[in-house]
Structure 1
Amino acid sequence: MLMGEYRNSVDEKGRLLLPSRLRNEIAGSTMILTRGVDKCLWLFPADQWRKISESIMGSSSMFKSKTRLLQRRIIAPAQECEIDKAGRIPISPTLRESAEIKQKGEAVILGIGDYIEIWDVDSYNAYLAESESEFLDAAEELGELLSMSEAK
């Protein structure tokens, strides 16, 4: 399972060093990098990506605007990326721009179960600040759900 919060720099060639703990979890996997939501990037093992892309592509008609939006925002910019011998992945200028990740800047790398999120450090800090009250509400709801399931 992919988990943890890490910070690393993007080098002058737009490559990001993945933490060894995450690399060990995805060793040997082909990885797919694409635009995520909330101004981040998503990095998926190819088998997980296949499930998501098939779901998006097969979920609805191409004549529906929301389907086209998801296809254009998530499927179209996706790129296969190899982890080099030094443990880095290349991030295209287009994807860096969409997530506001600066070349030679700091990035936050989050292990989220079966995928990885990559954020510009400033965007991530702003997201955390903006979503604090939502987080507290979600935690409270989760606590209620957990206590209800324990009571059964």
Structure 2
Amino acid sequence: MLTGEYRNSLDEKGRLLIPSKLRNAIPGNSLVITRGVDRCLWLFSPEEWRNLSASLMEAASPFQKRARLLQRRIIAPAQEIELDKAGRLNIPPTLAESAGLNRECMVLGIEKYLEIWDMEEYQRYFEDTEEEFREAAEELGGFVSF
């Protein structure tokens, strides 16, 4: 299971160490990386990526403007990358730039995928969405049971 928040740093070559707790939950040694909907990067196992991209392609026609937008922003930039022997991922420069990644990053495990955020961007997002988070929790509270 991919869960947890981990602070980590990009090295001078654009590589990010994936914490061992997350690495151990990743099947194989490759991930598919793409832009997230928010200003972050998403990482999926190849199998999860196939499921998501197939769903996006099947749900919408390339003749629909919004479908093309999603396909261009999420599917087109996707790249398969491999963990090196030290457990690092080499983040493609165009994706790092689109997420605004600087040296300090936050890696989030979200059950079936990972997110990589620039630390300052993540802190801003966290603060800016506090009220919305509470409203969402209140709404979902009726649907979730323990």
TM-score range, shorter chain: over 0.9
Query: 1:62 corresponds to which letter in structure 2?
Result: P
The residue aligned with 2:14 is 14
- Give the structure-1-normalised TM-score: 0.92
Contact 2:23–2:87 (CA under 8 A) maintained in structure 1: yes
Q: Secondary structure at the match of 2:7?
A: strand
The residue aligned with 2:83 is 83
Query: 1:33 corresponds to which letter in structure 2?
Result: I
Q: Secondary structure at the match of 1:96?
A: helix
Q: % of aligned pairs identical?
A: 59
Matches of 2:140 and 2:19, distance apart in 1? 30
Residue 92 of structure 2 is aligned to residue 95 of structure 1: no
Unaligned runs of 5+ residues in structure 2 are none
Taking a change above 3 Å as real, the CA distance of residues 31 and 138 of structure 1, as seen in their structure-2 partners, is: same
Cα offset for 1:27? 4.2
Cα offset for 1:30? 2.7
User: Which of 135, 138, 141 lines up with 1:137 in the alignment?
Assistant: 135
The residue aligned with 1:109 is 107
Matches of 1:106 and 1:50, distance apart in 2? 30
Cα offset for 1:29? 4.5
Contact 1:29–1:46 (CA under 8 A) maintained in structure 2: no
The residue aligned with 1:2 is 2
- Kindly report which structure 2 residues correspond to 1:16-95, keeping only aligned pairs within 5 A, or say none: 16-95=16-95
Aligned-pair RMSD on alpha carbons? 1.3
Query: 1:46 corresponds to which letter in structure 2?
Result: P
- Give the structure-2-normalised TM-score: 0.95
Matches of 2:76 and 2:96, distance apart in 1? 15
Number of residues of Structure 1 aligned to a counterpart in Structure 2: 146
Cα offset for 1:18? 0.3
Q: Which has the higher helix share?
A: 1
Contact 2:29–2:83 (CA under 8 A) maintained in structure 1: no
Q: Secondary structure at the match of 1:26?
A: coil
Q: Secondary structure at the match of 1:118?
A: strand
Unaligned runs of 5+ residues in structure 1 are none
Matches of 2:109 and 2:139, distance apart in 1? 23
Query: 2:97 corresponds to which letter in structure 1?
Result: E
